[in-house]
Chains A and B, each alone.
Chain A
Amino acid sequence: MPVKVMIPSPLRPYAGKRDSAEFNAQTVGEALGHLTTQFGELRKHLFTEEGKLRSFVNVYVNDEDIRYLAKENTPTKDGDTISIIPSIAGGVRS
């Protein structure tokens, strides 16, 4: 059983309107790599031009924030669910 990546509503237009996708992956980074290879338009909304996960994009494996695990090297196992949740931020000063 592969890893399931849940795709949030704002990003579904860039993922063939799908709400999830499944991949065989050993780590979170690998799963997100498969996701953004299959759906190339997703990449710029998740990663900076330098290839880093955008600061407001949070990734969870099951209910665990990967920032408190091994970030994108966090291992995954069959049946895990990866969620992508934005923090919302803004303000007047650039």
Chain B
Amino acid sequence: MLAWLSDNGLLLGLAVLDGLASAASIFMVAVGLNLVFGVMRILNVAHGSLYAIGAYSAASLTLFLTSRGLPGWLCYPALVIAAALVGAILGPLIERVLLKRVQNQEPVLQLLVTFALFMILEDVQKLIWGVQPVSNDTPMRLLGTVDVPFGTDVIPYTAYQLYVLPGVALLTLVGLAWFMRRTLAGRVIVAVTTDREAATSQGIDAAKVTMLTFTFGAALAALGGALASPMTSMVPGVGASTIVLSFAVVATAGLGQIEGAAIAAVMIGLGRSIAVYLEPELEVVVPYLIMVLVLLVRPQGLFGVTETRRI
């Protein structure tokens, strides 16, 4: 074991850093999925597509800025602006045109509607950005690398993945927890999540809260994609793998948990990146293996509370 560690310790350290970076971007998507589920009781299958569209838009916007010869630091606000635009345009559109119609329908129809939306958005990406990989690593290159001390060695690692990505995710986690518990707007969302009818009877405009929360959740997914875009090249199919991965996070944590989603994201992110270094073929299996193992022991997820069954 020790001998193995001294041989592979560096790889393991690299795997941990990779895992934290990917956990950060999955967390952004999963937490948005959770928020939307909370107020609407609908699991948006197309949520992963919003991540993909956020990633593509961010890459396009930064490529446009750099091609105009504008200063490089502009690409950081560009990532955020692209995500905000995707959320602000697609969020209200999807919620008002589609989801509102099926708000009171049976769950199977709601799932089918969001699945149909997912099919549509996956092709919209292909029509706009084509099937060739799109990539833009300017935001990552600009910050350069940092030497991370690891035992007697150092691991050179990109500052972007080390600070920016986990930083934004941590900020989102803390900010969201503060927002939901300490501000009026956040408490209104919690009220609608807990009991829509009672909240409405208190004078809360549940429809408006739902639309805004959905938009916010969509923007978070898009931001997750925008932040991840400098690290990978986008290809068709990103949306599909993102929705199942973020579902795995949400299911592992338990539906509706914010801090839980962060812990589950780290577990799954680490599991996946360690698998990449040990047994690359198994990379895709590990997240779901973690999920299935957790669900076998705790069907409601690690931090979920069992809902009493209504008769």
Physical interaction between A and B: no
